[in-house]
Structure formats: C-alpha cells, structure tokens
Amino acid sequence: MKYGHIAHIEKPISRIVAGTDFLLGQPKDTSFEAYDVFWEQGGRAFDSAHCYGENSRVFGEWIASRGVAKETVFLDKGCHPYGSPRVTHEDMLSDIQQNHEKLGVEYTDLFVLHRDDPEVPVGEIVDWLNEFKDQGLIGAFGGSNWAHERIAAANDYAAKNGKQGMSLNNPNMTLAHNSEPLWGGCLTIGIEGRKWHEENQFPLFAWSSMARGYFAHTTDADVVRAYDNDISRARRERAEKLGAEKGVSAMMIAMAWVLNQPFPTFALAGIRTPDQAREGVKAVEIEL
C-alpha cells in the first residue's frame, strides 16, 4: 500500500479508500473478511456517509470487533439533500452526531459535505465546520460534488479570516467518460477542475473511481446510462489491452489512472470480497 497526507490530519491515509455502502446487501462474514484482507495489506482509510444508513452500523461492528478505530482514517459525509438542500448548521451537526453513534466513534478524521448549496454563503459553511472542528468532533473537512470554484472561495474566506480551510475535494473522477450524472446533484470533475487541482496540488478523493464496474462490463442500468458511450467503450478497450500486457484487469488500470494524476489523489473503491481487496492493492503499484 502507498499513503498520502492532507492538511490537518497527522495519520497517513492509504491511497485506496474502502467503501461501506453495500454491507447490508451481502453476508457480514464476507464483508468482514474483505476488510480484514484490506487491512492486512495496509488499507487504513474507509468511506462512509449519513445516507448509507444502517450500513454504517455494520461497518462500526467491524471497527469495534477488530479494535482498530485509532488507526483508521474515517472519511464520513453529511448534509445529503434527501429531496431538498440540507446544508445547514443544524443538519450538519445532527449528521455528524448520528454518524458517530452508528460507527461507535467520537471523532471523524475527514468530514465531507455530500452536496453543496450555492444559496448558502460559503463563509457561513466554513464557520460552522470550524466550530465543529474546535469542538473536537471533526478534523479536516471538504466538499463532495462541489465545484472547485466553491472550494477555492471557501479557502479564500478561511485564509482571510484566520479559519481552517477545506483540505480535500471529493468529486467523481474516473477513466470512463461521464455522459450524465450518475445521481442527481453529482459532479464529475472536468479538465478545468483537474488543472486547478494540479496548479494548487490540492488533494482529490475520487468516488466511483472505477465507474462502478463499467470496466468489468457491468449491466447495471444506472452505470450504463451514465458511462456507456463511444469514448468510454474505446477507453475500456485500451484499458483491457494494457491490463493484459501488465497482468492486471481493466478495473485496476482504471483505478491506476486515478492514482497517477499530477496532483495528490485517493481512489474510493467498493471492496466487497477478499479477492477484490487483494487485487485492488495492485493498482497503487501500476505506473502509467
């Protein structure tokens, strides 16, 4: 495993971040064994969210049973819209507290706002996040599905007002070409966004880094709708060819593309089985 660092977090963060949104849909023993293998290979970061519901409680069981909370880097999210914007002080605090209760922890290393609400002044959001940081509830923070311009504005406000700014961006970024958002309000970073990240060397945590199975020819209707197009099919074909040359799957080539950007990147991945955990770690060693 390889590791990275971001501002305001002392723990090293594994470049692969394991997902937790699927745990209710498969046997607990399978999930726990997959996480055990991920951990044995150096995986130390996990992605959860308020909207993952009881999946988070199952993940909390694994954390407690293995006694690894202090070594784990938790990336947790709040303020999912649930039909209407929820970027408010009240919802933010409530989501953080409920996340902690489900996971059985008292602190979130990386707290990420699941959506933005452009109607809320970015300075207010920064103030709220700093309040919860000062209370010891969260460490670093950032935005998921936020335009990079809003993150830049948040950090400008923080710098001018002596506040802690955002430490990460958490958009979709994948080798597959995105035809339309996978879900409402989601953002796939484009060329200008990647340029901004390179210029500022700003960390990016890519959700659905392997396009939710597109490079393994999934037939999932949402994935096909969002990613299946001439550009993606051509890229998948090239990934399959390169993977054959390197002895890895096209999925690993797709993850390696995320990890080989000219700025700090971390790949969020759904590691559902022990075999996927073993294979996934190979991506950090692939140079493109």
187 vs 184: CA distance, rounded Å: 9
Distance from chain centroid for Cα 239:
23
Tens-level pLDDT at each residue, the chain (288 residues) = 999 999 999 999 999 999 999 999 999 999 999 999 999 999 999 999 999 999 999 999 999 999 999 999 999 999 999 999 999 999 999 999 999 999 999 999 999 999 999 999 999 999 999 999 999 999 999 999 999 999 999 999 999 999 999 999 999 999 999 999 888 899 999 999 999 999 999 999 999 999 999 999 999 999 999 999 999 999 999 999 999 999 999 999 999 999 999 999 999 999 999 999 999 888 999 999
Cα(67)–Cα(71) distance, integer angstroms = 9
Q: Please give the Cα distance from 19 to 38 (Å, whole number).
A: 11
Say which CATH architecture domain 3-285 belongs to.
Answer: Alpha-Beta Barrel (3.20)
Are the beta carbons of 76 and 110 closer than 8 angstroms?
A: yes
Query: Are 25 and 52 in contact, with CB atoms under 8 Å apart?
Result: no
Residue count of the chain, please give it. Answer: 288
pLDDT for the residue 198 = 98
Closest CA to 21 of 221, 271, 281: 271
pLDDT of residue 183: 87
Partners of 265 in beta bridges: 204
C-alpha pair distances (Å), 50 with each of 13, 20, 273: 21, 11, 23
Cα distances (angstroms) measured from residue 16 to each of 31, 163, 268, 272: 17, 29, 6, 14
Q: How far is C-alpha 112 from the geometric centre of its chain's CA atoms?
A: 9
Q: Which two three-digit tokens encode residue 262?
A: 């000219």
Q: How far apart are CA 40 and CA 49, in angstroms?
A: 24
Question: Which residues are CB-contacts of 141 (< 8 A; sequence separation ≥ 6)?
Answer: 110, 111, 112, 113, 129, 133, 164, 166, 167, 168
- Cα separation, 112 vs 233, whole angstroms: 32
User: Are 7 and 163 within 8 A, CB to CB?
Assistant: no
How many CB atoms neighbour CB 136 within 10 A? 9
The predicted pLDDT at position 10 comes to 95
Count of alpha carbons within 13 angstroms of residue 282, beta-carbon side: 15
Which residues, 6 or more positions from 208, have their beta carbon under 8 angstroms from its beta carbon? 172, 174, 182, 268
Which pTM was predicted?
0.95
Q: Can you name the residues that pair with 75 across neighbouring β-strands?
A: 47, 110
Domain boundaries, the chain: 3-285
The amino acid sitting at 117 is D
**How far, in Å, CA of 276 to CA of 278, rounded?**
5
